[in-house]
Structure 1
Amino acid sequence: MTDTYLNLVNTGFTKKLAKQLGLPRPAVLRRHRPGAPLVPGPVVVLDDAASEKDADTVAQQLLDWDLDVRRHAGPEERFGAAVVVLTEVASPEDLSAPVLALGPVLKRLAPGGRVVVVSRPAAGATSPAAAAARQGIDGVVRSLAKELRGGATGNGIVLADGVAPSAPSAVGALRFLLSGRSAFVDGQLVEVDSDAGELPTDWERPLDGRVAVVTGAARGIGAAIARTLAGQGATVVAVDVPAAGDALAKVANEVHGTALQLDITATDAAERLLQHVRSRHGRLDVVVHNAGITRDKLLANMTPEKWDPVVGVNVMAPLRITDALLVSEALGEAPRVVCLASTSGIAGNRGQTNYAASKGGVIGMVQASAPALAAAGGTINAVAPGFIETDMTARIPFATREVARRFNSLQQGGQPVDVAETIAFLASPQAGGINGRTLRVCGQNMVGR
């Protein structure tokens, strides 16, 4: 679906007119293009005095990626990104110097630039002052993200105590958040729980050799996920209902994968899925529970016919299939399960009690299933999209759709590929230290967190 307003205020005469009239001008986002620079300019690395050692580690990693790295911001320099390392802050007073040093950098941040803050969780602090400082960083990240312009984003990486900035998932999260792959991830904190994971030999194809199942793959976000995983090296099993057979076959052929027509709510769905994977591919490394439906209605008018199918498809089917996979011998050595939640499951939405129950349920499922996946050498996480430009959102009435598009820090809807890129990151070897988490892909919606 095309955002006509975004195109108008960024091209030709209407761009100039919008500027003269002071109209909101959402930027064209910087998305991943093979061969494009990781960031659009030099990267400055800032820190508080106590975090200097970790900041040096981060700076060296950036140098290893052939980036132009600065440890201090010159008065006239323009930057593609800023990384602020605050892993050792002990008091709210420690935030003053590095955060205020970041302020002038934001004025000279390139369009599509990135700000990434690296910190520790408040829960692990050894004193009230340290906890206050760490929690304060959360507020800094979410607030500065709302101040950025030109399609720039601000996010954080929260390293569990004992996890070094050089851990695979810390490095992987840093590269993801700096890159165009995170275009619609804004105002979020990626929590790294452990040193697990493995850095890829090829950052363009981290999923080489992996076999991935994507449910609901015939169209929209599911088709984008299948294409993105395949583009990063995975062999894809595209799954959807028999009624979507032609579209499903088209996607499977496009990504050089296999198609499986399957109603995931059927009692034998998990058995049929496992049989297909074993016979065609031998094992399964990645499962993306994307299939989902809506049956919106105010709760006062809700019926079982509208409630039960939504819960059945959106959360009960992923629960049953994941349980079956865990007791099977089909999973690879480091399996990844990624589920589609929604910002509706976090903040709620009028007329969507059934949908919010199912997507909130997905988040609960992910949290509770994390130990079992860890025991199997893997991870389970969720992605919670906000307003994404799909056929489903195209059916929203015009005025409501326009408000929903602009109601985030980036002032636009995301694209299916934005969700797909985030899922691909969580499915990758370098995300092995992220488990039981939900990452929003919403442009920093002005609802919930």
Structure 2
Amino acid sequence: MAAAEWRAARLVPRRAAVSRAQVETVSGRALGVFGLVFGGQTVPTAIDQSAALAEGAGTAVMAVLYGSLAALAVATFARVAVRAAAATFAVLFAIVLMAWPYLVVAPAAIAGQTPWLYYLVTVATTAAVIAVPPMPAAAYTVVIPVVYGVIRSTPAGGGAQPFLAVLDAMYAMILGIVALVIITMLRQAAEAVDAAQDAALQRYDLVARQHANEIERVKVDALVHDSVLTTLLSAAAARTPAERALAARMAGDAVRRLDEAAAEVPGNEDRIGLDVLVRRLRSAVAGFSAPIDVRPTGLAGVELPVEAVDALSSAAVQAMVNSVQHADEPGHGTERSVQIRGAGANGCVIRVVDDGRGFDADAVPMSRIGLRVSIEERMANAGGSATVQSTPGRGTVVTLAWPAGVEGSGS
């Protein structure tokens, strides 16, 4: 590809692909909105039916379920602890549903009515889909409607005819299964897109590096031909003091141009989101024998050059390898985590932490490639920094930052 074509291709705007993170965000916020809507619709019925429950039970049930619904909505829009909030609501709903027959002390007050919990069954099953893997979510989606159907046919559930109870249970189960299938399919499709995007980025990065290296080779060849060889030929042919002085000046100019060329580092200016870095690290963590907790925060809107993402990813993986190989102590379970934090719109800080045996960082010989080259020099060459804090018996913290100096940023 010609240089002009290459530059033109890089100017074409890239359309953001649907990622797993976006699917989770949209699904969670939809659950939060519909949960509030369905919950609000049940308030009048819940107030009316509270008279049939034990004293104070109606108020307590409404406080628990409506409070957890509100917390779920806040969590989905703040994108904080969404799965925990969804799991909490799903568990609380299941507890209230199973306790319902014991809470109703005046079944005649709700005879012929539908318990207000029915209108939240689909919200609960969808919350389970958001919170847990497909198989447990599928079990919850089947069990909860069945439990409701059984309760619906009892006096505490309104004493519905068996056919009507089964119909209500099947309707709730079908809605739950539809939500399960849609969300699961979207997740799988987004994961495939994420994997394809990662592979494409890696291939593009390789091509970009090859192109940059080719440009650099051509530039160096031209420099050697135009400056170095010409200088050598002039020096060899110099006979008079003036010719020698000219050759000396040409040699000085050639050395200066070589120094300038050495200072120019070819790189890839394309930028990618931190979610790609998080996926790479999660994939790497899955291959370790020891559990490592990946904790991303503040990723929204942060983009880094491909070269910086490569350096951060490789250095973090090497730090994890060092921890797995050297941090464990006999009789002590080592806890490890990788904390990934966006710093502003163009920075990132990664902390690889363990509470293992630790070591004296100053005593590590310069020949140790894993620490000196694979971590510190790799980050320095990419324009970042790496610091190692470790004390024997008190664990290790490896801090990777790009660009250098951003590790102190609180943003």
TM-score of Structure 1 vs Structure 2, range by shorter chain = under 0.3
Question: Normalized against structure 1, the TM-score is what?
Answer: 0.21
TM-score after normalising by structure 2: 0.22
Higher relative contact order (CA 8 A, sep 6+): 1
- Answer 1 or 2: which has greater helix percent: 2
